[in-house]
Amino acid sequence: MGWMHDTLGYFKREPVHRKFHQNDLTFAMLYHHHENFVLPLSHDEVVHGKGSLRGRMPGDDWQGFANLRVLLAYQWLFPGKQLLFMGGELGQKREWNENGELDWWLLQAGPFHAGTQRFVQDLNRLYRAHAALWEGDHDPHGFQWIDCGDHENSVLSFVRRPLSGGSEFVVVLNLTPVPRHGYRVGLPRPGSWREVLNSDAEVYGGSGIGNLGA
């Protein structure tokens, strides 16, 4: 619950103010390895006047859906087991309604809703295929910050490692709509690194900056 409230509190802020609240996202790692954690974006947070996940995001559709995609990427790639309540993967703007079905028609209403659904599908495929993203969830070896202190740029970077051998993953999260050209990240080892997921890819409704063919 602490992770959920801190995370949603961070993402509802205007990006210009996020540099003052980056510890909302990093605080979880101070207590994480003492318990086995679930990372919920649950039913309780999309009813009773709280609004949907998309409805909490600041900005127009382009900014709001970009925020939602990076929130989902953070949830999937951070250590812990994910829980996403129905409708979050569609980016529907209204609250969940127990007396009706999900707003499936939104998948035909422009690129953003269908792009968010596809992004969740691709996150799931990546997660299933690579042990680094789940095997070390509750082991200190499975996670290491690269840089959790770049408050000024609102960027987080970390490494996910498998316990049984295999590829490491570097996750870099740009938490504002400002492109960071030439941004330097300290990788854990030399060599060629390949981009395997980009939440700003055109296929998800993003700008396509840095796609590398995605």
Per-residue pLDDT tens for 25-64?
998 887 777 777 888 888 777 776 677 889 889 999 999 9
Res 209: pLDDT: 77
Find the distance separating the first CA and the last CA of the chain, reported in whole Å: 34
pTM of the entire structure? 0.92
Q: pLDDT band for 211, please (50, 70, 90 cuts).
A: low
| Closest of 156, 193, 131 to residue 26, by C-alpha | 156
Token code pair at residue 151 = 């408050």
Residue 166 pLDDT greater than 70, yes or no: yes
Res 212: pLDDT: 54
Domain spans in the chain, listed from the N-terminal domain onward: 2-129, 131-204
Res 48: pLDDT: 66
Residue 148 pLDDT greater than 50, yes or no: yes
Mean pLDDT lowest among 37-46, 66-75, 138-147, 178-187: 37-46
In terms of Cβ atoms closer than 10 Å to its own Cβ (0-12, 13-18, 19+), residue 102 is: middle
Res 141: pLDDT: 92
In the chain, the percentage of residues whose pLDDT exceeds 90 is 65
Residue 213 pLDDT greater than 70, yes or no: no
φ, ψ of residue 118 to 5 degrees: the values are -65, -35
Strand partners, 100: none
Distance CA 124, CA 143 (A): 19
Multiple choice CATH, 131-204, 3.40.50.620, 3.40.50.300, 2.40.30.10, 2.60.40.1180: 2.60.40.1180
Res 157: pLDDT: 97
What's the mean per-residue pLDDT of the chain?
Answer: 90
Residue 214 pLDDT greater than 70, yes or no: no
